[in-house]
Amino acid sequence: MNTRELSAQAVLAAGRLRAERQIGPAEAVCPYDLATACKIKVSFIEAPSLEGMYSPEPRPAIVVNRLRPAGRRRFTCAHELGHHIFGHGFRIDELGEENSSPTSPEEFLAQRFASALLMTKIAVDSAFARRAWLPATAEAEQFFVVAQELGVGFTTLVTNVEVNLKSISAARADALRRIPLPKIRGKIVGHSIGADVFPVDGQWMRSTVDVEIKDLVILPEKAEFSGTCASTVPGAPYTLIATSVGKGIIKLQSGRQLSLRVSDEKFVGLARYRHLEDIDDEKL
* Domain segments of the chain as ranges: 3-118, 120-179, 195-284
Q: How far apart are CA 271 and CA 41, in angstroms?
A: 8
| pLDDT value of residue 7 | 93
Q: For each of the chain's 284 residues, which pLDDT tens digit applies?
A: 688 999 999 999 999 999 999 999 999 999 999 999 999 999 999 998 899 999 999 999 999 999 999 999 999 999 999 999 999 999 999 876 555 666 789 999 999 999 999 999 999 999 999 999 999 999 999 999 999 999 999 999 999 999 999 999 999 999 999 999 999 999 999 999 999 999 999 999 999 999 999 999 999 999 999 999 999 999 888 999 999 999 999 999 999 999 999 999 999 999 999 999 765 544 44
Across-strand partners of 263?
A: 212
Q: Does domain 3-118 have CATH number 1.10.1370.40?
A: no
Amino acid (1-letter code) at residue 207: S
CATH architecture of 195-284: Sandwich (2.60)
Checking DSSP bridges between strand 269-270 and strand 208-212, what pairing results, if any?
A: unpaired
| pLDDT value of residue 94 | 86
Give yes or no for a contact between 223 and 238, defined as CB atoms under 8 angstroms apart. yes
Is the alpha carbon torsion for 55, 60, 160, 104 positive or negative?
A: positive
Give the C-alpha distances (Å, rounded to integers) separating 36 from 32, 39, 51, 280: 6, 5, 19, 20
| pLDDT value of residue 281 | 46
Q: How far apart are CA 232 and CA 239, in angstroms?
A: 6
| pLDDT value of residue 103 | 72
In this structure, the number of other CB atoms found within 10 A of the CB of residue 273 comes to 17
pTM of the full predicted structure? 0.93
Give yes or no for a contact between 76 and 62, defined as CB atoms under 8 angstroms apart. no
